[in-house]
Amino acid sequence: MESKKSNPIGLFDSGVGGLTVAHAIHTILPQEQMIYYGDTAHLPYGDKSRDTIIHYALGITDFLLEKRCKVILIACNSASSNAFDEVKEHVGDRAVVLNVIDPVVDYVAGDETIRNVGVIGTKATIHSKTYEKKLAGRNSRIGVSSLATPLLVPMIEEGFVFDDISNAIIRSYLSRRELAEIDTLILGCTHYPIIRNQISRFYNFEVNVPDSSLIVAEQLQQFLGERNLLSEHRKHPDTFFVSEYTPYFEVIANMFFNEKILLEKKSIW
C-alpha cells in the first residue's frame, strides 16, 4: 500500500451534498488530492430504487478506479445504505471503500449521554433502516426514530437555503411527532450539513446536531494514518466532475473552497 500514498481520494454523491464531506476533508487533510464525482444528471438518489442506486454507484466507482484512487468514499447516504456492500465487493483489493454512515454511528453509539436519536434522510436511506440496525447493533440503549425528508435535497440543489422557503420546509419536517423528545438529530444525508445551522436554530440549539461531515473526515484521517496511506504533499489540484452541468453546483463548490475549482462535465454512461 506504500505506493498508493500519493494517489487521490475519490468520493461521489448525487449532487452538491458530498461537497460538505469534501470540504471537511480539504480542511483536515489539505495534503490529500480529491477527485469528486457529482451525478447531477440522476439526482436525487433518494427516490430511486435500490437496484438503480447500485447501478449508478458501480459506474462511478469504475470511473474513480480508472483515476487510480486509493480510497473510494461513498459520500452519499442513499448510496451508502443501499450499495456499500456491492461496491466493496466490486472493488476488491484495488482500493479501500468507505461510507458516510459507519463513522456517524460509531460517534453516536460511543456517546454515553445520548439516549433518544432522530434520523432524517432521503426515502432510500430511511426505508433501508440502516441507521436503526447499525445503532441497535452498537448500543441497544439508544432509541431511534426516523423520518424521511425528501424535499430537503431538491430544495438545497435548487439554492433554496437560508430563506423563508427553506425555513418553512425545515419547520414542517422537524415538527413531526416522530422527532418529538429527541436529544440528538443525525443528519442522514450529506446535503443536510449545508442547513445544519438552520436546523439547530429550530431547536434553539437544545438538541445535539453532530457535524456528520467533520466526523467522516476525522475518521478518514485516522483510517489513512493507521494504514500508512496519508499523503505527504498534494501533487495535483482537486478535480470535480459532474454528469450534468448545473450552475448551483459551481456556486456551492466555490463557496466551500473559496477558490475557483476545476469543474468538468463527464458523462460515464
Instruction: Report, as residue numbers or ranges, the catalytic residues.
Output: 76, 189
Which residue in 250, 259, 261 sits closest to 40, CA to CA? 250
Tally of residues, the chain: 269
- Contacts of residue 149, Cβ cutoff 8 Å, sequence gap at least 6: 120, 121, 122, 173, 189
Give the residue from 241, 225, 266, 184 showing the smallest Cα distance to 19. 241
d(CA 218, CA 251): 26
Give exposure, 226-246, as e/b (b: 16+ Cβ within 10 Å): eeebebeebeeebbbbbbeeb
With H, G, I as helix, E, B as strand and everything else as coil, classify residue 74: strand
Instruction: For residue 69, give the C-alpha cell.
Output: 484512487
Helix (H, G, I), strand (E, B) or coil at 200: helix
Residues 173 and 199: beta-carbon distance below 8 Å: no
Q: Is 18 helix (H, G, I), strand (E, B) or coil?
A: coil
- Cell numbers at 176, concatenated: 413531526
Beta-strand runs (E) in 124-256: 143-148, 184-188, 239-242
How many other C-beta atoms are found inside a 10 Å radius of the C-beta of residue 253?
A: 23
